[in-house]
Chains A and B, each alone.
Chain A
Amino acid sequence: MQFGTGITEEAVGMSGPAGSDRQTAREFLGKMENVQRRIVSETMSAARDVMLPLSEAFRTLDAQFLPFPAIVRKLGRDALIDPVTGQPTPPDQSVTLQDVALRYDMRAESATSLVGRSTKQQNMMLLLQAIAAVPPLMMQTNWVTVARSLWRTFEEPNVDEFILPINPQQVMLQMMATQAAGQPAPDSSGKVPGSPTQPSAAGDTMPQMVTQAGSEQYS
């Protein structure tokens, strides 16, 4: 029946009787991963056959029936700060026919984020190191967004408690001002002092962006 349904004890986080007497964590995780493949396959099927067609149907129905301009009201912290960009949410959030008349590529956001929590955190740290190793990329990175994503990845529910609401454009101006004052040269490893791996360097703008609480993340 386990083969038929695809659900084993491991799927629900239990150690099954089929395991060895001294089951290791690796064995357990391996079985869990195998079970998840089937569940993930079914989830992707649901995303492909339900969520995406529904989203497309809603968009086309909006294009036909919705009176414009329509205003989407947001409640909570996302009403002030855009959760993705980290920028202040513009006051005018009206949707027009121009918005919904376009055809978009779509993805089921949740179903494509099937990587485990700890793996996500590891990936995030690797990404930070990779960005820090490329100074031009670091300059072009929206660090407020990165910081917000970082806090979310580490499961802090209220990101705004950790990050001061600074407009990224303002941050960019500060960075440019810092550069004009004389940016420290890259060290022998190619890293620029003030990058996320070296937050305590003088003249760094990162502590301002991630705030005092956030700076602990990098120490």
Chain B
Amino acid sequence: MPLAFKSGYNRVPVRDSDPAMFAKQVVQMVRDRANHSREDSEQYRRKVSKWYDLYRGFVRARSQPFRNQVHLPLLFSSIEAGIAIKHGLLTGAKPFTDFMPGGPEDAMSARRTTALVQQQFDDCNTEGKLADLLRMGDISGTGPFQWSWKRVTNMRPQRIPDPLDPTAFLVQNMEITDFDGPWWEPIDVLDWFPEPGKTDIRTMGWCIRRYWLDLDDIEELVAQGVYDEAGLKELSMAQMTDEASAEYENRRAAPGSLRWGVPNISQMDKYAKPVEILEMHGVVPNEMVPDDGYRNRLITVGNGIALLRNVGNPIWTGGLPFGVYRPTADPYTIYGIGKVEPNDKLQATASRFASQKLDVLDLIIDPALIYNQLANVQTGKLFNKPGVLIGVDGPPSEAVAQSLSTSAASRSPFRTSSSYGAGCNSARASRRKR
């Protein structure tokens, strides 16, 4: 139930003087924007799961035990072949990108920056992430990613050489820096809510990302001063909202799709305490600007109810820390065109066609027969083999007859079998007969 606030132009709520109510207003804004983005791309989001199924070969239809259900991995082969080439071209040689100086005086600086950035690319596993991103782009047409500065420290024991005795050592608990540098990661497109109506991230006013954190991790972030304590208290007093739970359940219930990320799978743990995080980067209306006066903000909402963070944009470049890879861009929307979308019907048809041909072949091998129940036919012996003798009472033609003519069907499978894999002959069909 949306909260009712006094509103101004275009019914934008006027800022409430009560800080607690203002926090509710900000939470509502982030939720409304995420919902707006989701509704704007609802048709696309529904298709993403189907496209992933076609890529993986997951068959969701109810299978019948007497029908073949074959998936020809044509899209899979095409996508993986393309990714291998693209990934090889992008990361085949280091540095991945070259900073080019404006003149000789900048040459050494440019080279040092190139080396530094390449090292940082390596540190955050850019090669592996890039393969995932390319795959996401080819499957769903849109591969969003986010960058940030990441610093991870952990307290753990460390062996220290004893300065007095080279054979001895001391054990000390130390704050170890595990990572401290720029970071980037691909985002599941279902967890990405860009401002609708914009075809380029650089022109977007805001962008929202969703992920899940454990409540205990949030407590740590509160202790570090990243999140607000008031938000944590509010979070602790409630469970996951229906909305977040439903989304989580939908994702978990369906096999396949892009849902098997670590944040989601962790929720299957009965002792996990998942919290849905909506993280909004970008500008807010003047009515939502707090006393610090910054319109460009970073806002974090927990479970759709608690305001965990509302600060000015911590990245000084001012832009949104998001990017998107699209194999083929659509000039009218931020969501691009992948490899599956233009070919999904062909993939489904090819698989169905292969299944039907196998059904026909099965019928040829084991044809359906009609027999006279008064002719003393032993049905258990009605299988063809060299030298077989099947005895019946009366004329054989009156005892057993073939129910359906499969002669026409029996010729067609072999005629067109070579056309299946046009494009991917190396692909092997995975056969599932149930």
User: B86 interface residue, CB < 8 Å from A?
Assistant: yes
Residues 46-76 of A contacting B (Cβ, < 8 Å): 46-47, 49-55, 57-62, 64-66, 70, 72-74
Chain A residue contacts of B79, Cβ below 8 A: 5
Query: Shortest beta-carbon distance, B90 to chain A, in Å?
Result: 5
Chain A CB within 8 A of B161 CB = no
Structural contact, A102 and B109, CB atoms closer than 8 A:
yes
Shortest Cβ distance from residue A142 to the other chain B in the assembled complex, whole angstroms:
13
Instruction: Name which residue of chain B comes closest to A57, CB basis.
Output: B147
Query: Which of A12-20, A155-163, A178-186, A202-210 is the interface stretch?
Result: A12-20
Q: Given the complex of chains A and B, what is the CA–CA distance between A107 and B101 in angstroms? A: 11
How many chain A residues touch B (CB < 8 A): the figure is 59
Residues of A within 8 A of B323 (CB): 49-50, 53-54
Whether B99 sits at the interface, judged by CB under 8 Å, is: yes
Report yes or no: A4 in contact with B95, Cβ–Cβ below 8 A. Answer: no
> What's the Cα separation between A65 and B149 when bound, in Å?
8
Contact with A along B370-390 (1 / 0, CB 8 A): 000000000000000000000
Stretch at the interface among B19-27, B239-247, B338-346, B358-366: B338-346
- Give the interface centre of B86, B89, B94, B329 by most chain A CB atoms within 10 Å: B89
Kindly list chain A residues whose C-beta atoms are within 8 Å of the C-beta of B342: 4-5
Beta-carbon contact of B112 and A95 below 8 Å: yes
- Does A45 contact B422, Cβ atoms closer than 8 Å? no
* Given known contacts A60-B317, A95-B112, A1 and B326 CB-to-CB distance under 8 angstroms: no
Residues on B with C-beta less than 8 A from A65 are 149, 182
Mask for A94-115, Cβ within 8 A of B = 1, else 0? 0100111010111111110110
Kindly identify, within residues 132 to 153 of chain B, every residue whose CB is under 8 Å from any CB belonging to chain A.
133-134, 137, 145, 147-149
On whether the beta carbons of B113 and A5 are closer than 8 Å, the reply is no
Let me know if A217 is at the binding interface, CB within 8 A: no
Do A104 and B110 contact each other (CB < 8 Å), given the known contacts A5-B79, A52-B97, A58-B121? yes
Interface band, chain B = 35 or more
Q: Which chain A residues lie closer than 8 Å to B82 at the CB level?
A: 5-7, 11, 39, 42
> CB distance B133 to A108 under 8 Å?
no
Q: Please, how many angstroms separate the alpha-carbon atoms of A18 and B89 in the complex? A: 27
A49 B110 Cβ-Cβ under 8 A: no
Q: Are A51 and B149 in contact (CB under 8 A)?
A: no
* CB-defined contacts of B182 to chain A, threshold 8 Å: 57-58, 61-62, 65
A50 CA / B126 CA spacing, docked (Å): 11
Within the assembled complex, what's the spacing in Å between the Cα atoms of A49 and B120? 19
Closest to B316 in A: A64
Contacts of A9 on B, CB cut-off 8 Å? 423-425
Residues in chain A within 8 A of chain B (CB atoms): 1-2, 4-9, 11-12, 14, 16-18, 36, 39-40, 42-43, 45-47, 49-55, 57-62, 64-66, 70, 72-74, 84, 93, 95, 98-100, 102, 104-111, 113-114
Q: Show 11 residue pairs from A and B whose CB-CB distance is below 8 angstroms, ordered by the A residue.
A: A1-B423, A6-B78, A7-B78, A17-B418, A17-B422, A46-B134, A49-B325, A50-B323, A62-B120, A74-B115, A109-B94
